[in-house]
Amino acid sequence: MRLALRPYLLIVPALLLTCGILYPFGLGLYYTLFDFSASKPQPDMVRFENYTTVFTQEAFWNSAWVTVLYAVGAALAETVLGVAVALLLHRSTIVGRILEKILILPLMIAPVIAAIIWKLMLQPSVGVVNHLLRPFGLGGVQWTDTPTGALLSSIAVDVWVYTPFVAILALAGLRSLPASPFEAAAVDGAGWWYTFRRLTLPMLWPYVLVAVIFRFMDSLKVFDIIYALTEGGPGDATVVLQIRAYLEAIRFQRYSFGISYTIVLWAVVYLAAMVLVKHLGKIQRKAAEVTT
Amino acid sequence: MDTHVHDRRRFLALAAGAAAAPLLTACGAGFGGDDGKSDGSAADDVTGSFDWKREKGTTVKALLNKHPYTDALIADLKSFTAKTGIEVEYDVFPEDNYFDKLTVDLSSGRASYDVFMLGAYMVWQYGPPGWLEDLGPWMRNSAATGAEWDQADFFPNLLRADQWSLKAGAPLGRGGQYALPWGWETNVVAYNTEVFRKLGLKPAESFDELTELAGTITQRAPGAGFDGMYGIAVRGSRSWATIHPGFMTMYARNGLRDFTVDGGKLTPAMNSSDAVAFTEDWAGMVKRGGPPSWTSYTWYQCSSDLGAKKAGMLFDADTAAYFQAVKGASPASGKIAFHPGPKGRDGSLATNMWIWSLGMNAKSKKKSASWLFLQWATGKEHLRKSAVTHNHIDPVRKSVADDAAYKDKMRHLPGFLETFETVVDQTKIQFTPQAQFFDATTSWAAALQEIYGGKGARSVLDGLADDLAGKVG
Amino acid sequence: MRKRALGWLGDAALILYFVFALFPIAWMVILSLKPADQLFSTYFSFSPTLDGYRTVLGDSEGIPFVRFFVNSLVVSVGAVALSLVVGLPAAYASARWRFKGSENLMFTLLSFRFAPELTVIIPLFVLYQKLGLFDTYVGMVWVLQLVTLPLIVWIMRSYFADLTPELEQAALLDGYTRKQAFFKVALPLVKPGIAAVSLLAFIFAWNNFVFPLILTSNEAQTVTVGALSFLGGDRPKYNLTAAAALVSVVPPLLLALTIQRYLVRGLSFGAVKS
């Protein structure tokens, strides 16, 4: 009995804290069953009407699509770029050793500030990016003016901020890989590509996957970068779910309806996380000996 | 083993319950809404003769937006405290998140702030839920309001703009006075005199001319020594704020309406054939002579482009140009002139405006002191001082607008006073008041962006009208 | 020969990435040194001035930036410390014992990390107003647990799992209690992990925008929201925003430099050691 309880006792503080956080979630969920808004401060219970409205709105499906595009795009680009940077740094050349020290810098700029600075830099009239590209005939590029451009620009800012996160985790993984399989491969005269595909990548994957999970989940609920960069425009091109929820709940004062949006988003994120974490557990177990 | 599981489950349930219980009782149902409105105004409790010192020793809390008008107010607070014995505590937030703060705070039903800044459009959102105090009874009570406040001295269209009966579509100027005008902005054209002189241009008198002019500048200015200059800066971001300055002004000058009201029912009118044609023309003007990356343009970008000599003209709030024009503010200072902008149908100079107003929290526990503050802040003495010694331009009072010292100060800006005097009588809120204003104008801005991006104006605006018809009733 | 060429190519690619990564920061430095009237008129040639920093640190724009800075410090340090105190035992327990529901519990914890902020922000606002937590340090430290706790529990859990239990068992045989074994054996071994994950948690707490935006006012507001204040008023003052943002990078940067040697090594959590 004593032994059986110990793990729970150790978890209790975290659990209590979690309940503290859980409460507002419960309250939020409860709100969505009403038609609570500025024009209705004494709301009526409407059961699931908010959700049926959400799912029948074209705006919702557009936002969901944009959100997925953004999250997949950002997570993919950050993974590829982050792993590439980590591999290059892992060679520990002189250049690499110097640059490694400043790798984390972009992560320290708050994303909302980063987006504001990027917006200023990308402003064709006075921005420095177009100024520098002018000699190459690219001075007139209107970065955020088309739907695709706006989405790609937002993703680029996300990539700028969070690639170091993936790179650091991947580098940590690379540094902790055992040396012996690589030595054996070298003795066998295996080529670089073969070693990379058969040894490095599979062994590195659990580390990278943790980073990917964090990045994918986080970019599904992106808010600040788009809030500061495009406000959702042009048209509805970058109105991700959290922006829509913000507009509904805060700017238009339809609290219940706005929160419904975020609950749906949460469900999506939760499911996606569950699948990914299951997968992570599987490959972690595969890669390691279970200790008990 | 089984019992263990049960034990644990019960334990977990208990732990969760223990954590949640005190919170549950603290929160009741959990909604932030109000606890019922009371009848009658607190203004009726103020009797006897008017006395500035009536509430001495009280502290009033104010929520303010970062603005030059606010700087002038804060600089002068000492004289308010000296006059009344009331202390003012204030929080200042930048415009980007000011209204989010204010809205969330008011919606919580708490009286965190007694007085705050707001725009006339906010009255439409804050008024119906009962968050704003009707100031009418205070103004009419001679025990609460000193004679020197002089209501007749306000420009009447400004006072009317903050007056509403809280019914969607009902015209402004009737019903409760939910805020007091304090500082405002008319939407006119400001232009760079240097480029106009060099290229031999004159301000446009019609919208077609304006489009021509903007195109001409974009074409010719870069070759004439104005590197990267384009014709006209107007807002274009996906925000309600894109619609109300230049766009709404020109829209109204063309005799167009946002909604038609018939027997209390609002019908969207942004898709009338004239409105469709005008919206197409506006997008066309932006394409010919507007800023690159227009869809990201807020007033920051617009005004800084005018200041950086990247925009030949600016069709926006006169203050946005003014603060680039003051000495030492930007490379363009000293080279900015003002013009009422193109005339519309039948020579109309109908102009939309933004009014920084001051309102009182209906939940305030210190209404009498708050009213003294509002009275002082919108009074002749403070407004004159802040107009002359600070940058509180665009006076809401005739006495300040006519003040010799103020006029003297503004005279060095070519066309500023003339423009102000030309449009002031035709300046009013050109929107139809209704609570979904922010939703409607945000969608409108998104529609504008789509038309600019090449979609057909007719179908986009029809879609907008359909969407709004369901929401605005 | 070919190998050397490849090495250079690799270095060139690295430098390319770092140009992309560092240019915006360099540009912020330039912006912060520009006088207000030259913000947009020139790109690289201007008369540098420290006025921007003086204005920001001197509170002279009417924005109490120094107070926001202190707030950020208190709130972020507090959030990370609380998360460590409650998170480390939880991570340890779930790594050492496979008990009923452990996976689900851990997953629930993690899922908060992925919850949209706006789900809780309005209920929390109402709640905080009633409990008197609005615009307070306690309120901010509490809500930031959403950001810091899952990160710490998850990363430290893999870390503890990676630690072979034999060491603690040996300690138990030597007469240590479980508690001593945890504090004297397990904890010191995962120190690099704690350092690294604390840094990440600190950065994420420090940079959070939505929570302080809505849940604080003047008293507990943080630098992230505060830095935006300089954009309002008569003209957008990007030089001040840049200066404020750069000043606010100093604490995480100092922290990162202090634990530099732990950072990459410390994040080598998980398994894959044979």
- Interval C153-179: pLDDT, tens: 888 887 787 777 888 888 888 888 888
Tell me, yes or no, whether A6 lies in a domain: no
Task: Output b/e per residue, B289-309; b: 16+ Cβ within 10 A.
Answer: bbbbbbbbbbbbbbbbbbbbb
Chain A residues whose CB is inside 8 A of the B292 CB are: 124-125, 140, 142, 145
Residue-wise pLDDT tens digits, A150-197: 999 999 999 999 999 999 889 888 887 888 888 888 888 888 888 888
Number of other residues whose CB lies within 10 A of the CB of residue A218: 20
Cβ contact A39–B19 (<8 Å): no
Quickly state the pLDDT bin for C109 (edges 50, 70, 90). confident
Cβ atoms B279, B460 nearer than 8 A: no
Name the residue ranges covered by the structural domains of chain C. Answer: 67-235+245-266
Cβ atoms C137, C75 nearer than 8 A: yes
Largest CA distance in chain B: 94
Cβ contact A25–C115 (<8 Å): yes
The two structure tokens encoding residue C118: 């706006």
- CATH number of the structural domain C67-235+245-266: 1.10.3720.10
CA–centroid distance for B227 within its chain: 33
CA–centroid distance for C227 within its chain: 17
DSSP assignment of C49-70: -SHHHHHHHTTTTS--HHHHHH
Query: 6-25 in B: which are within 8 Å (CB) of A?
Result: 8, 11-12, 15-16, 18-20, 23-24
Largest CA distance in chain C: 74
Mutate to test the interface with B, among C40, C121, C239 (most CBs of B within 10 A): C40
Confirm or reject contact between B52 and chain C (CB < 8 A). Answer: no
Cβ contact B305–A140 (<8 Å): no
Distance CA C199, CA C252 (A): 7
Number of other residues whose CB lies within 10 A of the CB of residue C101: 15
Confirm or reject contact between C146 and chain A (CB < 8 A). Answer: yes
Task: Please write down the HEC assignment for all residues of B224-265.
Answer: HCCCCCEEEECCCCCCHHHCCCHHHHHHHHCCCCCEEEECCE
Confirm or reject contact between C145 and chain A (CB < 8 A). Answer: yes
Describe chain C by its helix, strand, coil percentages, rounded to 5. Answer: 75, 0, 25
Tell me, yes or no, whether A27 lies in a domain: no
Cβ atoms B253, B342 nearer than 8 A: yes
Cβ contact B94–C122 (<8 Å): no
Cβ contact B296–A144 (<8 Å): yes
pLDDT of residue B335: 95
Nearest CA in chain C to A115: C24
- CA nearest to A160, candidates A94, A229, A208, A96: A229
pLDDT of residue B36: 46
Cβ atoms B175, B166 nearer than 8 A: yes
Neighboring chains of C (3 or more beta-carbon pairs < 8 A):
A, B
The strand ranges marked E within chain C are none
Residue B47, judged by CB atoms within 10 A of its CB (0-12, 13-18, 19+), counts as: exposed
pLDDT of residue B317: 94
Distance CA B160, CA A146 (A): 41
Query: Is pLDDT larger for residue C183 or for residue B433?
Result: B433
Confirm or reject contact between B310 and chain C (CB < 8 A). Answer: yes
Average confidence (pLDDT) over C176-190: 84
Cβ contact C142–A263 (<8 Å): no
- CA nearest to C267, candidates C158, C133, C124, C121: C158
Neighboring chains of A (3 or more beta-carbon pairs < 8 A):
B, C
Chain C residues whose CB is inside 8 A of the A31 CB are: 122-123
Quickly state the pLDDT bin for C265 (edges 50, 70, 90). low
DSSP B117: E
Q: Supply the angle between the helices B457-471 and B437-452 in degrees, to the nearest 10.
A: 170
Structural domain including A83 reads 33-287
Chain A residues whose CB is inside 8 A of the C24 CB are: 106, 109, 114, 117-118, 121, 160
Cβ contact A235–B449 (<8 Å): yes
Number of structural domains in chain A: 1
Peptide bond into B292 cis (omega under 30): no
Chain B residues whose CB is inside 8 A of the C214 CB are: 100-101, 104
DSSP assignment of A105-152: HHHHS-HHHHHHHHHHHH-TTT-HHHHHHGGGT-TT--TTSSHHHHHH
Q: Distance from C208 to chain B by nearest Cα, in Å?
A: 15
Query: Across the interface, which of C39, C123, C228 has its CB nearest the CB of B96?
Result: C228
Cβ atoms C223, C246 nearer than 8 A: no
Largest CA distance in chain A: 76
Chain A residues whose CB is inside 8 A of the B16 CB are: 15, 19, 22
Q: How much is the pTM?
A: 0.90
Question: Counting one residue from A and one from C, how many pairs have CB atoms under 8 Å apart?
Answer: 287
Tell me, yes or no, whether A19 lies in a domain: no
pLDDT of residue B379: 96
Tell me, yes or no, whether A15 lies in a domain: no
Confirm or reject contact between C19 and chain A (CB < 8 A). Answer: no
| CATH number of the domain residue A276 falls in | 1.10.3720.10
Confirm or reject contact between C36 and chain B (CB < 8 A). Answer: yes
Residue-wise pLDDT tens digits, A101-155: 889 899 999 999 999 999 999 999 889 999 999 899 888 889 999 999 999 999 9
pLDDT of residue C153: 86
Res. A35: pLDDT tops 70: yes
Query: Across the interface, which of B8, B100, B293 has its CB nearest the CB of A123?
Result: B293
Residue C139 neighbours by CB under 8 Å, 6+ apart: C128, C133, C215, C216, C220
Cβ atoms A182, A199 nearer than 8 A: yes
Nearest CA in chain C to B307: C40
Q: What domains can be seen in chain B, in order of their start residue? A: 53-185+354-426 (3.40.190.10), 187-352+432-471 (3.40.190.10)
Chain C residues whose CB is inside 8 A of the B31 CB are: 126
Mutate to test the interface with C, among A112, A157, A263 (most CBs of C within 10 A): A112
Confirm or reject contact between B103 and chain A (CB < 8 A). Answer: yes
Confirm or reject contact between C135 and chain A (CB < 8 A). Answer: no
ipTM for this prediction: 0.89
Mutate to test the interface with B, among C47, C234, C237, C238 (most CBs of B within 10 A): C234
Confirm or reject contact between C30 and chain B (CB < 8 A). Answer: no
Cβ contact C232–B66 (<8 Å): yes
Residue-wise pLDDT tens digits, A267-277: 888 888 888 87
- CA nearest to C248, candidates C265, C231, C224: C224
pLDDT of residue C266: 65
Residue A277 Rama label (left phi>0; alpha psi -120 to 50; beta) = alpha
CA–centroid distance for B16 within its chain: 47
Chain A residues whose CB is inside 8 A of the C114 CB are: 217-218, 220-221, 266, 269-270, 273
The structure tokens 């800075």 sit at C69
Distance CA B169, CA B252 (A): 17
Residue-wise pLDDT tens digits, A57-96: 999 999 999 999 999 999 999 999 999 999 999 988 888 8
Cβ contact C230–B94 (<8 Å): yes
Confirm or reject contact between B307 and chain C (CB < 8 A). Answer: yes
Chain A residues whose CB is inside 8 A of the C268 CB are: 172-173, 175-176
Nearest CA in chain A to C264: A172
Tell me, yes or no, whether A5 lies in a domain: no
Chain A residues whose CB is inside 8 A of the B305 CB are: 125-126
Confirm or reject contact between C26 and chain A (CB < 8 A). Answer: no
Query: Across the interface, which of A102, A169, A249 has its CB nearest the CB of C122?
Result: A249
Coil, strand or helix: which one is A42?
coil
pLDDT of residue A23: 83
Which helix (H) or strand (E) element contains residue A52? helix A49-56
Cβ contact B65–C41 (<8 Å): no
Confirm or reject contact between B221 and chain A (CB < 8 A). Answer: no
Neighboring chains of B (3 or more beta-carbon pairs < 8 A):
A, C
Nearest CA in chain B to A1: B4
Distance CA C117, CA C204 (A): 14
Nearest CA in chain B to C40: B308
Quickly state the pLDDT bin for A291 (edges 50, 70, 90). very low
Task: Output b/e per residue, A164-187; b: 16+ Cβ within 10 A.
Answer: bbbbbbbbbbbbbbeeeeeeebee
Nearest CA in chain B to A58: B467
Mutate to test the interface with C, among A3, A5, A8, A21 (most CBs of C within 10 A): A21
In order along its 473 residues, chain B shows pLDDT tens digits of 333 434 444 333 333 333 333 333 334 444 554 444 455 788 888 999 999 999 999 999 999 998 889 999 999 999 999 999 999 999 888 887 889 889 888 887 778 899 999 999 999 999 999 999 999 999 999 999 999 999 999 999 999 999 999 999 999 999 999 999 999 999 999 999 999 999 999 999 999 999 999 999 999 999 999 999 999 999 999 999 999 999 999 999 999 999 999 988 999 999 999 999 999 999 999 999 999 999 999 998 999 999 999 999 999 999 999 999 988 888 999 999 999 999 998 899 999 999 999 999 999 999 999 999 999 999 999 999 999 999 998 899 999 999 999 999 999 899 999 999 999 999 999 999 999 999 999 999 999 999 999 999 999 999 999 999 988 86
pLDDT of residue C267: 65
Query: Across the interface, which of C11, C253, C270 has its CB nearest the CB of A284?
Result: C270
The structure tokens 């070519």 sit at B414
Nearest CA in chain B to C230: B94
